[in-house]
Amino acid sequence: MKIGIDRMAFATTNDYLDLVDLATARGVDPNKFTIGIGQDRQAVVPASQDIVTLGATAAKKLLTPELAKRVSTVIVATESGIDNSKASAIYIKHLLGLDDFTRTVEMKEACYSATAGIQFAKGLVALNPQETVLVIASDIARYGLNTAGEVTQGAGAVAMLISRDPHILSLEETTVSYTKDVMDFWRPVYASEAMVDGKYSTNVYIDFFKQTFTRYQQITGRDLADFTAIAFHLPFTKMGKKALDALLADRNDEVADRLRQHLTESQAFCRQVGNLYTGSLYLGVMSLLQNGQLKAGDRLGLFSYGSGAEGEFYTGILEPGYQNYMNNVKEDLANRHQVSVAEYEEMFNGQLGMNADDVEFDTRNDPLPFVLKGQKNHQRLYERK
């Protein structure tokens, strides 16, 4: 039985910051951001959005009433959860109006947990082929104003349905996971911004990619020529290039050209929104599929990485007509609203974060279908628009 990704949808905020403006404001050469880091724009988050509203918005884009009835489990993967106890999946299940007889859970391991969510969903479907699992990767990447990581911030959610006979990607059996206790990026419970040893984190990422890919080759006997493309977790687009270069070194044949070309296609959307943490790999897959010319039967490699740290390399085979089972991300990104650096800073400081006070947000200008209205008695108040 084939099991895999049946549908995908991406949602981000309506506001973005141009990173040339950010570079100018920070006194940095814009080429460092656009070429050195490889980012052009980043999503900016109004107070009325969080990982619940973004996740629900992404899921709404792919759920028809018929599909909604089939969802048996909702898994939300996030690094930026809004509660230390209650799962964001419960709020999202409610906002989407899903049946009460639904299993809901939130998963965490930095940027990696959506991959665990997909693997666990695959297991559920294998045990009961009637199950359809909604996996949502939703995050707000915050490093802080004037930090080295600021240029790599971003926000958004990717929703995926995992089922039998999938329309997009059938997952193959062999997967390689790799875990080590490493302090490259973490966020203590008292902090709303990540702590990061940036340069170290890029080295750990590359090491984990090499470890998992080499083990995968040993198990399967496959080599790079067996892949049409490899999609990477993209905290910023240059990271994908660094990882692929580490494998290709100075290889310059047809296989290397093909992988480099498809890498560029997979980076296009990340360039426009920034890091999505859990969702970045999957936005990279959507970018590859919407900007490349891949065909049914092509094998994709997926490298998932979460600081702390855990990596996983796994693969899938593209299904015929995969193009028809995703929202048009290019179109959605073209309709966003640009904000100035001053507006971005105000919005950055206006997020609910660690604040315990009652507050009400003005949601009139927020075009997303779900909004965070505010907080009362320590409870977040959500609304369907």
Q: Which residues bind ligand CAA (CB under 6 A)?
A: 29, 31-32, 35-37, 111, 148-149, 151-152, 184-185, 196, 198-199, 201-202, 205, 233, 235-236, 238-239, 275, 277, 305, 307
Least distance from ligand CAA to the Cβ atom of residue 195, Å: 10
Question: Known catalytic residue: 345?
Answer: no
Cβ 267 vs Cβ 237: under 8 Å: yes
Buried b (16+ CB within 10 A) or exposed e, 106-137: bbbbbbbbbbbbbbbbbebbeeeeebbbbbbb
Active-site hit among 233, 270, 312, 319: 233
Q: How far apart are CA 84 and CA 103, in angstroms?
A: 19
Cβ 82 vs Cβ 52: under 8 Å: yes
Is the Cβ of residue 111 or residue 169 nearer to ligand CAA in the bound state?
Answer: 111
For ligand CAA, the nearest residue by Cβ is: 36
Least distance from ligand CAA to the Cβ atom of residue 219, Å: 24
Contacts of 26 (CB under 8 A, 6+ apart): 146, 150
Is the Cβ of residue 34 or residue 73 nearer to ligand CAA in the bound state?
Answer: 34
307, two tokens: 């600081």
DSSP state, residue 192: S
Query: Hunting for tokens 């690094």 — which residue is that?
Result: 79
Least distance from ligand CAA to the Cβ atom of residue 5, Å: 21
Is the Cβ of residue 236 or residue 322 nearer to ligand CAA in the bound state?
Answer: 236
Is the Cβ of residue 151 or residue 159 nearer to ligand CAA in the bound state?
Answer: 151
Exposed/middle/buried for residue 35 (C-beta within 10 Å: 0-12, 13-18, 19+): exposed
Least distance from ligand CAA to the Cβ atom of residue 187, Å: 10
Q: How far apart are CA 232 and CA 235, in angstroms?
A: 9
- 3-state secondary structure at position 118: helix
Question: Known catalytic residue: 111?
Answer: yes
Q: How far apart are CA 354 and CA 83, in angstroms?
A: 10
Question: Known catalytic residue: 233?
Answer: yes
Cβ 43 vs Cβ 15: under 8 Å: yes
In order, the DSSP letters of 309-330 are: TEEEEEEEEEPTTGGGGB--HH
Least distance from ligand CAA to the Cβ atom of residue 243, Å: 10
Least distance from ligand CAA to the Cβ atom of residue 113, Å: 12
Q: How far apart are CA 92 and CA 370, in angstroms?
A: 10
Is the Cβ of residue 274 or residue 316 nearer to ligand CAA in the bound state?
Answer: 274
Is the Cβ of residue 12 or residue 327 nearer to ligand CAA in the bound state?
Answer: 12
Active-site hit among 111, 265, 270, 312: 111
Active site residues: 79, 111, 233
